[in-house]
Structure 1
């Protein structure tokens, strides 16, 4: 499973997915430690919030999922149209969260953010 993790510091899971410009790209099978295969460090105009084009770098990575601490409806809908599921969580460790997601284990529920954000894990399978 190929997973992008929002991580402004490249160490922990961070929120505001639509404004995030840094992503850890992981391969995870749910049985062993995920492998970091890439990092995205995008310029400010390439955050999903700012970018309005069709060929965003996130869409070209063959992603199955994005893990974040918070995401607005617009971010979720744009990624959904590309076949990418968004999972919001209160977890902070990218490797543990990716392992759990790939193994089908539920992620810790995301903390409440603001009115635009959506709780995403209620129907996680």
Structure 2
């Protein structure tokens, strides 16, 4: 199992997962952390700047933990069979350990509006 945690500053869980470009990837074996690696995306690979059906380096994770994400990102993750988890926890290692033992404090995912429309047109 792989769990991704949004962490733009590499220390804390990021509040806005859509714009985040740095994720800790936790490799889980026997319900514990076996390995942890940093994945850095390009700006174009971030959820906010990529298209929902484009391949992503995060496609092979089963869970994505963040401090916040909009309902559009949640649907996008669900389409890729990735569980979206929004938490109040700020420490990545603690969040993963708590997720694994069932004690992670989560919060509801709120509808997310930017206040502007996205064209998201390809410049091919």
- TM-score range normalised by the length of the shorter chain: 0.7 to 0.9
The count of aligned residue pairs is 112
Determine the C-alpha separation between the residues in 1 that align with 2:92 and 2:64: 11
- 1:108, distance to aligned residue in structure 2 (A): 1.9
When the two structures are superposed, what TM-score results if normalisation uses the length of structure 1? 0.77
Deviation digits for residues 26-51 of structure 1 (CA, Å, limit 9, x no counterpart)? 1235854x244321111212111110
The DSSP-based 3-state class of the residue aligned with 1:109 is: coil
2:101 aligns with one of 93, 100, 103: 103
When the two structures are superposed, what TM-score results if normalisation uses the length of structure 2? 0.78
Give the 5 Å matches for 1:51-62.
51-52=50-51, 54-59=54-59, 62=60
Q: Unaligned stretches of 5+ in structure 2?
A: 114-124
Instruction: Tell which structure's C-alpha radius of gyration is larger.
Output: 2
Q: Unaligned stretches of 5+ in structure 1?
A: 118-125
Aligned to 2:26: 26
Whether contact under 8 Å (1:8, 1:20) holds in the other structure is yes
The DSSP-based 3-state class of the residue aligned with 1:57 is: coil
Give the 5 Å matches for 1:31-42.
32=32, 34-42=33-41
Give the 5 Å matches for 1:1-125.
1-28=1-28, 32=32, 34-52=33-51, 54-59=54-59, 62-105=60-103, 107-110=104-107, 115-116=111-112
Whether contact under 8 Å (2:70, 2:109) holds in the other structure is no
The DSSP-based 3-state class of the residue aligned with 1:66 is: strand
More helix by share: 1
Determine the C-alpha separation between the residues in 2 that align with 1:67 and 1:57: 15
Determine the C-alpha separation between the residues in 2 that align with 1:3 and 1:102: 10
